[in-house]
Copies of this chain bind each other. A is one copy, B any other.
Amino acid sequence: MDGDPEVQGRGVPTTPVTRVFVVAPTPMARAGLRSMLDSAEGTGVEAVGGAASLSTSDPALADADVLLVLGEDLLDEAAPSFPGDDHQSVLLLAEDEGAVSKLRAHSPRGWGILPPDAPQEELEAAVVAVARGLVVLPDALAGRLFGNLQDFGEPPEPLTSRESEVLGLIGRGLSNRMIATELHISEHTVKFHISSLFAKLGVGNRAEAVSRGARYGLISL
């Protein structure tokens, strides 16, 4: 279980110092965040710089492991010159969950979202975690994101391969005739499969079928 070359002694901290660059619109916010980070000793977190926007030429920005960004707005502006290319993580302080997709689009490494009023302990833990490439979310946000997705388990009855196929094409907006052409079958057969999968999903029309299908995870959206 340990062929690793890590023969380090106990005195050497295993946390190799996490450098954080603070991006916040006001000097006060920057100072507050930096002090919260610097007062954390054991965690090896260190604030290396700060700026009011992401499009800065501060050399400390390039050195940072984690970008701590206050506010969703600061993420939009700097979309082009976003430095979080491949080795930097981003921790965003924002309430809104709409920023999830923006974050994911930017930083392929670790990322996270935290409410702006998060206590210092959560902030430290989140910084360290995203620096390790993990994804961190507050419990409430995770509940909202996942809760609607797959709280329900399997569909009541499993769909046949043909039915799943038809359901997928329905979700892409195809009419019965187009589905028939696509699958090289008759339009009547398409209607038959649709009736079957409607019965299995317990729905009465295509819109609801797509909705339920997506919730059960058997549609690719």
A: which residues have CB within 8 A of B?
Answer: 1-2, 6, 10, 13-15, 28, 32, 39-44, 98, 100-102, 104-105, 108-111, 114, 120-122, 124-126, 128-129, 131-139, 141-143, 145-154, 170-173, 175, 203-211, 214-215, 217, 219-221
In the bound complex, residues from chain B placing their C-beta under 8 Å from that of A132 are 121-122, 125-126
- Contact for A43 among B2, B42, B104, B122, CB less than 8 A: B42
How many copies altogether? 2
Chain B residues closer than 8 Å to A44, beta-carbon distance: 42
- Between A40, A108, A128, A220, the greatest number of chain B beta carbons within 10 A of the residue's beta carbon is seen for A128
CB of A209 within 8 A of CB of B211, answer: no
Residues of B with C-beta under 8 A to A172: 208, 211
A14 in contact with B1 (CB, 8 Å): no
Query: In the assembled complex, which residues on chain B have CB atoms less than 8 Å from the CB atom of A6?
Result: 120
Given A131-B125, A138-B135, A1 and B15 contact (CB-CB distance below 8 Å): no
Q: A153-B102, A211-B221 are in contact. Are A136 and B145 (CB under 8 A)?
A: no
Q: Tell me whether A134 and B135 are in contact (CB under 8 A).
A: no
Are A146 and B15 interface neighbours, CB within 8 A? no
| Residue of B15, B131, B137 touching A42 (CB-CB under 8 A) | B15
